[in-house]
Amino acid sequence: MTWTWFHRLGSPPHVYRLARRLTPWFSWSAAVLILAALYGGLVLAPPDYQQGEGFRMIYVHAPTAWMSLMVYTTMACAAAVGLVWRMKVAHAAAAACAPIGASFTFAALVTGSLYGEPMWGTWWEWDPRLTSELILFFLYLGYMGLRGAIEDTQRADRTSAVLAVVGVVNVPIIHYSVTWWNSLHQAPSVMRLGKPTLAGAMLWPLLTMLLGFTLLFVALLLVRLRAEILARERNASWLQEELAA
């Protein structure tokens, strides 16, 4: 009984239909939350006493940075499940994650750089978080490159899954080493990226934005997952019925 949900998650038609049913719910709640957070962040929140109006960039930088890591973790978990239980749907989910994660990592890098310019006076600072973000971007590129280089879907799924798992083991090590390296070289006077103390009217838009982006990710994932399932199940009989209906 307790494991039936897990087995059903392994069934492509079940997941396909579930994804179709859930997509509107996640999309609309994400849209509402993000719009509310935008209003809260740009209008209601008072300026920061140190960073002035510039701190409002945190409402886009923090969520994109959060997405970059969360999507990678999700991708690696899905990949591991796919490897261990030979679950096609899990591989499809991992494949769906990569482009989403890569694009948000790119956004986190750009917003980080924009955030950094007025604070540091340069467009790029070898700040540990930005550096880690850059490496994460390369990890995504490598993952997508490997996937794209292998023609057979099944082999591409399984090979890139090994890479995702290896990568997720490495991410904390990379982050630690980069922080360690940075602490050796950084002059203490340089201000670190965005840690204004947030409270009340400044905090809730951030939390709302984080939640909104997370829901947005789920919605995007569900749509892409359906596309990936369609590509993997093209010979299955359930699909013929599904399309006929």
Short-list 175, 143, 177, CA closest to 160: 143
Query: One symbol per residue from 62 to 81: x for binding other proteins (CB under 8 A), - otherwise; what is it?
Result: -xx-----------------
CA distances from 150 to 130, 144, 233, 236 (A): 31, 10, 18, 23
On whether the CB atoms of residues 1 and 200 are closer than 8 A, the answer is: no
Chosen residue from 2, 189, 197, 237 binding other proteins by CB under 8 A: 237
Distance CA 178, CA 183 (A): 9
Q: Which of 70, 168, 198, 226 binds other proteins (CB under 8 A)?
A: 226
Residue 98 lies near other proteins (rule: CB under 8 A): no
Tell me whether residue 2 or residue 62 sits nearer to other proteins (CB atom): 62
For residue 121, state whether it binds other proteins (rule: CB under 8 A).
no
CB of 69 to other proteins, least distance (A): 15
The answer to whether residue 17 forms part of the interface with other proteins (CB under 8 A) is no
Q: Which residue, 34 or 89, has its beta carbon nearer to other proteins?
A: 34
7 counts as binding other proteins under rule CB under 8 A: no
Residue closer to other proteins by CB (options 22, 166) is: 166
Cα 114 from Cα 109, distance rounded (Å): 9
Q: Is 36 in the site for other proteins (CB under 8 A)?
A: no
- Asked whether the beta carbons of 231 and 153 are under 8 A apart, the reply is yes
Measured in whole angstroms, the distance separating CA 228 from the mean position of its chain's CA atoms is: 18
Instruction: Determine the Cα–Cα distance for residues 67 and 73; give it in Å rounded to an integer.
Output: 10
Q: How far apart are CB 197 and other proteins at their closest, in Å? A: 19
